[in-house]
């Protein structure tokens, strides 16, 4: 058996649905070897597997769709394109929004750039901690830049100096409190803008429409909004509003560079009472937040 065949078999035997760290040159998938990634000078290198069942793959196939190489001044993305790959080097100051989250095992990493480009990669939810590490590594390398607008008045925000109580947002949203408390431990300058749990919202319209929709009530899900000196951080579900009766089993953490935010707009939800839609306008992207009208988070965000 040739050396190439042996490496292909070894890669196949070690393959799984998880995102893996590349620590040595031997860990680099053969497809991406021509890129000559020097892992000794990289801050973090991760490989994302093809989102396919192992039974549909065989030794010798290209098993990885993506290689992300985080360097001190850029993020280099190598993406599989058939039997070859495309390379994109992203300067750190090009990154406007970073988002990662999963609904059970269905995870997604998203990078939105100031150019309007979006890079998205699916991942297995079992790798959520690894992907959060990637996001935090990139966040820690982005140079601080001045905000374009003042995102929240000092009087509208409350320093998060004490952990939130586990039941602060209700039993179904306790995961939010655990997540924001963990975030606060690692971000000593974090400021809480607002936090709220889920609630059922009433539809607009006449009695018949209201009666029909009451059979399948709409839930506005909980969320937490916070500020670091350089970012707006949003913890939310993968969907802001759902008709599902069971608690949502999802979590998304989105961080938006304050230096990229140019405006904040708001409007009343077109179909439900007590729901305000806030649009965070960044250079190259927009982020919609669905918040309870009059909540701390809704009132804290200015309309610019």
Residues 178 and 130 both lie in one domain: no
Same domain, 137 and 270: no
- One domain, residues 162 and 128: no
Q: Do 158 and 296 belong to one domain?
A: yes
- CB atoms < 10 A from the CB of 56, how many? 8
Residue 147 is assigned to a structural domain of this protein = no
- For residue 60, what is the DSSP state? T
* pLDDT for 303: 65
> Pseudo-torsion of CA 199, 204, 205, 206, nearest 10°?
30
Examine the pLDDT at 304 and tell me if it is beyond 50. yes
**Exposure b/e, 27-39, CB count within 10 A at least 16 = b:** ebbebbeeeebeb
Give the pair of three-digit tokens for residue 295: 């909540």
- How confident is the model at residue 245, as a pLDDT? 62
Of the pLDDT bands very low, low, confident and very high (cuts 50, 70, 90), residue 155 is very low
- Mean per-residue pLDDT for 220-235? 93
pLDDT digits (tens, 9 = 90+) for 130-145: 999 999 999 999 998 8
Q: Are residues 24 and 110 in the same domain?
A: yes
Comparison of pLDDT for 213 and 174, the residue scoring more: 174
d(CA 178, CA 105): 20
Q: Is the residue at 159 inside a domain?
A: yes
Query: What rounded mean pLDDT belongs to the chain?
Result: 87
What are the backbone angles phi and psi of residue 75, rounded to the nearest 5°? Answer: -115, 120
Asked if 42 and 97 sit in the same domain, the reply is: yes
Q: Are the beta carbons of 237 and 248 closer than 8 angstroms?
A: yes
Structural domain count, the chain: 2
Q: Which of 141, 175, 209 is the last residue of a domain?
A: 141
Task: Give the SS3 label for residue 69.
Answer: strand
- The helix/strand/coil state of 49 is strand
Whether the pLDDT of residue 219 is over 50: the answer is yes
Does the residue 292 lie in any domain?
yes
Using the 3D structure, point to which of 76, 110, 141 is the last residue of a domain: 141
Each residue of 260-280: pLDDT tens digit? 999 999 999 999 999 999 999
Residue reference for tokens 């090009």? 94
If you average pLDDT over residues 188-214, what whole number do you get?
80
Q: What is the pLDDT of residues 76-128, one digit of tens each?
A: 999 999 999 999 999 999 999 999 999 989 999 999 999 999 999 999 999 99
**Residue 190 placed within a domain:** yes
What pLDDT was estimated at residue 170? 87
| Closest to 130 in 3D by CA, of 16, 40, 47, 38 | 47
Range of the domain at 173: 154-300
Same domain, 164 and 86: no
- Indicate whether 296 and 158 sit together in one domain: yes
Closest CA to 138 of 198, 103, 93: 93
- Would you say residue 146 lies in a domain? no
Task: Report if residue 148 sits inside a domain.
Answer: no
Residue 241: pLDDT over 50:
yes
Q: Which of 143-157, 199-213, 288-302 has the lowest mean pLDDT?
A: 143-157
pLDDT of residue 301: 85
Q: What is the DSSP string of 56-109?
A: G--TTS--EEEEEEE-SSEEEEEEEETTEEEEEEEEGGGEEEEEEEEETTEEEE
Residue 64 belongs to some domain of the structure: yes
The residue from 96, 115, 141 where one domain ends is 141
What is the CATH number for 103? 2.30.29
Residues 98 and 120 in one domain: yes
**pLDDT given for residue 205 in this prediction:** 76
Greater confidence (211 vs 151) lies with 151
Pair (194, 252) in one structural domain? yes
Does 271 reside within a domain? yes
Structure tokens at 228: 């670091």
CA 42 distance to own-chain centroid:
23
For residue 154, what pLDDT is reported?
47
- The pLDDT value recorded for residue 135 is 97
pLDDT bucket at 22, cuts 50 / 70 / 90: very high
Q: What local confidence, expressed as pLDDT, does residue 222 receive?
A: 93
First CA to last CA distance, the chain: 66
40 with 137, same domain: the answer is: yes
β-sheet with 199-201: strand ranges across: 199-201, 218-220, 241-242
CA angle 242, 245, 250 (to 5 degrees): 60
Residues 264, 162, single domain; the answer is yes
Instruction: Quickly tell me which residue has 């769709």 as its tokens.
Output: 65
Question: Mean pLDDT across the stretch 170-191?
Answer: 85
Residues in CB range of 95: below 8 A, 6 or more apart: 75, 111, 112, 113, 114, 138, 142, 257
């Amino acid at each position: 058996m040739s050396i190439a065949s042996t490496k292909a078999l070894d890669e196949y035997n070690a393959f799984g649905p998880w995102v893996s760290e590349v620590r040595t040159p031997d860990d680099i998938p053969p497809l991406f070897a021509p890129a000559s990634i020097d892992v000794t000078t990289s801050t973090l290198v991760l490989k994302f597997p093809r989102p396919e069942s192992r039974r549909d793959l065989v030794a010798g196939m290209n098993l990885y769709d993506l290689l992300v190489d985080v360097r001190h001044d850029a993020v280099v993305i190598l993406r599989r394109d058939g039997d070859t790959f495309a390379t994109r080097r992203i300067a750190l100051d090009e990154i406007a929004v970073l988002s990662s989250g999963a609904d059970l095992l269905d995870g997604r990493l998203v990078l939105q750039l100031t150019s309007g480009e979006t890079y998205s990669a699916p991942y297995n939810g079992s790798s959520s901690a690894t992907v959060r590490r990637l996001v935090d590594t990139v966040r820690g390398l982005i140079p601080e830049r001045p905000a374009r607008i003042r995102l929240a008045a000092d009087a509208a925000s409350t320093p998060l100096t004490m952990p939130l109580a586990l039941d602060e947002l209700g039993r179904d949203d306790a995961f939010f409190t655990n997540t924001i408390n963990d975030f606060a431990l690692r971000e000593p300058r974090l400021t809480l803008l607002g936090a709220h749990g889920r609630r059922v919202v009433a539809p607009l319209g006449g009695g018949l429409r209201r009666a029909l929709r009451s059979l399948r009530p709409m839930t506005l899900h909980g969320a937490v909004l916070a500020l670091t000196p350089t970012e707006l951080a949003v913890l939310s579900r993968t969907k802001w509003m759902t008709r599902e009766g069971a608690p949502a089993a999802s979590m998304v953490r989105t961080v938006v560079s304050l230096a990229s935010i140019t405006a904040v707009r708001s409007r009343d939800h077109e179909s439900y009472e007590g729901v305000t839609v806030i649009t965070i306008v960044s250079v190259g992207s927009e982020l919609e937040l669905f918040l309870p009208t009059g909540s701390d988070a809704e009132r804290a965000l200015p309309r610019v």
